Amino acid sequence: MQTYSFQPTVEYARQLDQEDVLAHYRNEFYIKPDSIYMDGNSLGLLSKRAEKSLLEVLADWKELGIDGWMEGKHPWFFLPETLAKLSAPLVGASAEEVIVTGSTTVNLHQLVASFYKPEGKRTKILADELTFPSDIYALQSQLRLHGFNPETHLIRVKSRDGRLLEEEDLIAAMTEEIALIILPTVLYRSGQILDMKRLTDEAHARGILIGFDGCHSVGAIPHAFSEWDVDFAFWCNYKHLNGGPGSVGSLYVNRKHFGTLPGLAGWFGSKKDKQFDMEHLLIPADTAGAFQIGTPHILSLAPLIGSFEMFQEAGIERIREKSLQSTQYLMDLIDFELEDYGFIIGNPREEKRRGGHVSLEHKEAARICKALKEYGVVPDYRAPNIIRLAPIALYNTYEEVWKVVQILKNIMAEKLYEQYSNERNVVA
Ligand SMILES: *Cc1c(COP(=O)(O)O)cnc(C)c1O
């Protein structure tokens, strides 16, 4: 690839597309011809491979009935482990340290139930005030289950500017009262990447366990969970990983914690060869598989087979490279074309701290998003004032990025957003 050197012309966008080594993957997705999809960080698009693997699993059900568990093309009984093996490289883990199971929120409950062990003065959980609400609800309810008051026992580190978190502030809050830390890998609004290695080192130096919510990073940026010695992590597979609405999530448990009893136990956490002994004594798997609960949701796992294969083939390093260049290009175009219209770029600009989306702030964001949709762009709105735009490496083009900014400029110049109310829709 030539070195990137910004030019505002559509010819430059086309040149970037020609040099794009991942460009051919776009043909593998269902892309609507008159629509530019910039929302792959909320719900990834369907690929033909994901559709194919789902249809294969359905066909096995049709043909084999219960024998699909062992004899299907993708034997259902081992599917969570098979998918863990395919996706472990995305987080820098060995296959045994990952399992594809549950949902983000359920997996968070499972991991807190397993690794939050309040003792003596160490009884509090550390999180941050910008975290995704579901994580906070889960932590509050886990504290209540232990008889603690979430008001006093859930510490939420403050952001200095409402957008970003400073690692120094997080570290300063790691006191002797903290038993467990849960933080995002990438903040869902501003797209900031936290320095996971540094935070893990600092937590461990104070005898605290740390886990990460990887929803906004897995599939967009590389991770080295095992090398960084992260204790555990959890994420969903329907955003950057294109697994489909409500597809099964994933969790990571560092191998040093193998043997920890699952806080929420169920028979699918058994050692595989013991499960059907039907004994009342659980013999947990000696891998992250121990943290599974019940029967896997096979039809919501199936699209991941095709999707994970694509990630394995494309390689997360190349995906990150294109994602960084696309978001840089988007920011450069915004700086160049939209400076008169009151936008603020709220994500960090440095590559080390920038995730997979651009976070564009504007006081009219809700209705600008409605206008964008009307004019053929699917953005993502986060109340009260954020337009998130995610150019996805496997299916968005540079020319689409260029067009989005032109459409946005037209909406602002002609005040087209004024025809809409500045309120969010039910699903935003
Ligand atoms: C999307 C997302 C979730 C969603 O959790 P589900 O259990 O899949 O509904 C949780 N946390 C973060 C940070 C997210 O981005």
Domains of the chain: which residue ranges?
A: 10-30+316-419, 52-313
Token code pair at residue 208: 């605290």
Ligand 1 atom, smallest distance to 246 CA: 8
* Eight-state DSSP code of residue 159: P
* Sequential DSSP letters for 77-139: GGHHHHHHHHHHHHHT--GGGEEE-S-HHHHHHHHHHHH---BTTB-EEEEETTS-HHHHHHH
Residue nearest to atom 5 of ligand 1 (CA): 104
- 132 CA to centre of ligand 1 in angstroms: 7
Greatest C-alpha distance within the chain: 70
Q: What is the pLDDT of residue 5?
A: 96
Fold of domain 52-313:
Aspartate Aminotransferase; domain 2 (3.40.640)
Strands, sheet with 178-184, edge to edge from the N-terminal-most edge strand: 98-100, 250-253, 232-235, 209-213, 178-184, 124-128, 154-157
Helix 298-314 to helix 316-337 angle (10° resolution) is: 80
Residue with tokens 């996971």: 196
Q: Closest Cα partner for 219 from 390, 21, 358?
A: 390
Report the alpha-carbon distance of residue 187 to residue 41 in Å, rounded. Answer: 12
Sign of the Cα pseudo-torsion (112, 113, 115, 119, in order): positive
Please state, in angstroms and as integers, the Cα–Cα distance from residue 276 to each residue in 280, 285, 301, following that order.
11, 13, 22
Residue nearest to atom 14 of ligand 1 (CA): 215
Q: What is the pLDDT of residue 2?
A: 64
- Please list, in sequence order, all residues whose beta carbon lies within 8 angstroms of the beta carbon of residue 97, skipping any fewer than 6 positions away: 88, 225, 226, 252, 253, 254, 255, 287, 288
Tell me the β-bridge partners of 284.
Answer: 270
Residue nearest to atom 8 of ligand 1 (CA): 104
- 104 CA to centre of ligand 1 in angstroms: 5
Q: List ligand 1's pocket residues with C-beta within 6 A.
A: 103-105, 132, 134-135, 184, 188, 213, 215-216, 236, 249
Q: What is the pLDDT of residue 427?
A: 80
pLDDT in tens, 58-76: 999 999 999 999 999 999 9
Q: What is the pLDDT of residue 164?
A: 98
Q: Is 238 assigned a ligand-binding role in the annotation?
A: yes
Residue nearest to atom 15 of ligand 1 (CA): 215
Which of 134, 136, 380 most suits a substitution to test ligand 1, by most atoms within 8 Å of the C-beta? 134
Q: Closest Cα partner for 136 from 148, 126, 146?
A: 126
**Domain 10-30+316-419, architecture per CATH:** Alpha-Beta Complex (3.90)
Residue nearest to atom 3 of ligand 1 (CA): 104
- 134 CA to centre of ligand 1 in angstroms: 7
How would you write the pLDDT of the chain (428 residues) with one tens digit per residue?
Answer: 568 999 999 999 999 999 999 999 999 999 999 999 999 999 999 999 999 999 999 999 999 999 999 999 999 999 999 999 999 999 999 999 999 999 999 999 999 999 999 999 999 999 999 999 999 999 999 999 999 999 999 999 999 999 999 999 999 999 999 999 999 999 999 999 999 999 999 999 999 999 999 999 999 999 999 999 999 999 999 999 999 999 999 999 999 999 999 999 999 999 999 999 999 999 999 999 999 999 999 999 999 999 999 999 999 999 999 999 999 999 999 999 999 999 999 999 999 999 999 999 999 999 999 999 999 999 999 999 999 999 999 999 999 999 999 999 999 999 999 999 988 788 87
Residue nearest to atom 2 of ligand 1 (CA): 215
Q: Is 268 assigned a ligand-binding role in the annotation?
A: no
Residue nearest to atom 1 of ligand 1 (CA): 215
Tell me how far the alpha carbon of residue 307 is from its chain's centroid.
15
Ligand 1 atom, smallest distance to 134 CA: 10
What are the backbone dihedrals phi and psi of residue 156, each rounded to the nearest 5 degrees, phi first? -115, 110
Please return the burial class of 171, using the count of CB atoms within 10 Å of its CB with bins 0-12, 13-18 and 19+.
middle
- 399 CA to centre of ligand 1 in angstroms: 30
Ligand 1 atom, smallest distance to 108 CA: 7
